[in-house]
Structure 1
Amino acid sequence: MKPRSKRMMLVGGGVALLVAAVALVLSAFQQNLVFFHTPTDVMEGKAPTGKTFRIGGLVEDGSLQREADGLTVRFAITDTAKVIPVTYKGTLPDLFKEGKGAVIQGSLGADGQFRATEVLAKHDENYMPPEAAHAVEEAQKTAATVSQ
């Protein structure tokens, strides 16, 4: 083999390895990507069914119910326009309360029930995740224009 042919084979092999590495990295990103949706998005069918995503808004007043096992909790999350029922099994954050902002990660069941795997509560009295604050703001604007 000529030296030029050897060099071309090495370059071709290096490019193939680089393409394989990039494909693996992109695949890992795709698998770990978690999108944020509002309750309105979920009700309109914009959220994926059977895949993990986050939903945020306010915990609806009067919706918090604890099961007899002490770990299972049922509540509803709202953006003031739509309401999604949520089931979570685990310990809730100390700051989790009705009427306060929260972001919940999990998946939507075929029955419309959101099964949470993680619950995140606000950090202080004025904090709400930017996506949730924007969603609540948009839902209030929509509700105001509909009622006029």
Structure 2
Amino acid sequence: MSLMSLKKTRRVQVIAMATVALVISTALIGYAMRDGINFFRSPSQVMEEPPAPNETFRIGGLVEEGSVVRGQGHEVRFSVTDGGASVPVVFSGVLPDLFSENQGMVGTGRYVNGVFEASEILAKHDETYMPKEVMDALKEQGVYQEATPGS
């Protein structure tokens, strides 16, 4: 073999190895992130197309007035609504201090047998903040109005 064809062969081998390494690393990153990506759904979307019981996702909306029921220990049951639909939620744990009725919340968990079993609940962090996904879902249902300055 000549020196030129040896260089070409070596270059092709290096490119092939780099391509294989890139494909393997992309597959490993995707496999590692498979449980780390949680899609957001509004209560209306959950009721229209209920997700599989093994799918972890985020749900957001307003805590429905009069729906908060505290059970034994740290168990809390309530409903989250976007004005178009309500989804019952059960959560075992300590709720955030700012959690209250008619306030925005986002929960992470699974929808099993018609109930969202939350593993985490997040509440708004001040009087004016609402997560973008929750705001968009409430606007879609005609429930959310922009706050006017000074009100």
Taking structure 2 as the reference length, the TM-score comes to 0.83
* Number of the residue aligned with 1:90: 93
Deviates more, 1:39-48 or 1:127-136: 39-48
Give the secondary-structure state (helix, strand or coil) at the position aligned to 1:106: strand
Q: How far apart are 1:29 and its partner, in Å?
A: 3.3
What percent of counterpart residues are identical?
42
Aligned pairs for 1:54-133 within 5 A: 54-69=58-73, 71-109=74-112, 111-133=113-135
- The answer (yes or no) to whether the contact 1:87–1:114 under 8 Å persists in 2 is yes
Deviations 1:4-23 (A, max 9, x none): 43443333223211211122
Q: For 1:41 and 1:91, how far apart are their aligned partners in 2?
A: 27
Q: For 1:139 and 1:79, how far apart are their aligned partners in 2?
A: 7
Deviates more, 1:6-15 or 1:74-83: 6-15
* Larger radius of gyration between Structure 1 and Structure 2: 2
More helix by share: 1
* Number of the residue aligned with 2:147: none
Deviations 1:2-46 (A, max 9, x none): 734344333322321121112212333343111110000000016
Give the secondary-structure state (helix, strand or coil) at the position aligned to 2:97: coil
- The answer (yes or no) to whether the contact 2:50–2:111 under 8 Å persists in 1 is no
Aligned residue pairs total 139
Give the secondary-structure state (helix, strand or coil) at the position aligned to 2:35: helix
Q: How far apart are 1:116 and its partner, in Å?
A: 0.1
Q: For 2:20 and 2:34, how far apart are their aligned partners in 1?
A: 21
Residue type matched to 2:138 in 1?
V
* Number of the residue aligned with 2:48: 44
Q: For 1:29 and 1:68, how far apart are their aligned partners in 2?
A: 35
Q: How far apart are 1:77 and its partner, in Å?
A: 0.2
Q: Which runs of 5+ in 2 are unaligned?
A: 144-151
Deviates more, 1:25-34 or 1:85-94: 25-34
Give the secondary-structure state (helix, strand or coil) at the position aligned to 2:33: helix
Q: How far apart are 1:49 and its partner, in Å?
A: 3.8
Taking structure 1 as the reference length, the TM-score comes to 0.85
